[in-house]
Amino acid sequence: MPMSVEPLGSGRVTALPADRAVLSAQDFWKLLLTQLQMQDPFTVGDTQAMLQQFVSLQSAQTATEVAEGLKRVQALLMLGREIQALIDGEWQTGVVVRVAFGEDQPKLLVQLGSETKAVPLSTVSAIAIPQSGGDGRWA
């Protein structure tokens, strides 16, 4: 026998913008309060498990944000440095003249003679550290 389900509230579904796709603390508390209000008092749900899951999700989100921030800083620290990277299928050496930040990982704009190529940060294998004598030492 089919069962009909009535929506709660106004019945309208609102799409969240991309920046709201993450569960905020306020959203979590609203969700928890709704769960507590709707649960059967004779079969109480495990609120502790829900709290632990929320903390785990927040920790994972924070770790991801920190890792992305570190990649950005790492890319910025390469500005003006001579690097060795896999470019167009071969190992080449050039100087990082610009850094571009997109949706994925940072891209280094590397000067190779008369041309500039966009290079993903992950393809860099070595960085020259300038010495007082002007010669670079590969790190």
All domains in the chain, ordered by first residue: 21-74 (no CATH), 78-138 (2.30.30)
Give pLDDT tens digits along the chain (139 positions): 455 545 454 444 444 454 555 666 777 778 777 877 777 767 666 677 777 877 887 888 888 889 889 999 999 999 999 999 998 899 999 999 999 988 778 999 999 989 999 999 989 999 887 665 555 555 5
Side-chain half-sphere CA neighbours of 33 within 13 A: 6
Phi, psi (degrees; rounded to nearest 5) at 103: -75, -30
Q: Collapse the DSSP code of 67 into the 3-class scheme (helix H, G, I; strand E, B; otherwise coil) and give the result.
A: helix
What is the model's pLDDT at position 38?
Answer: 77
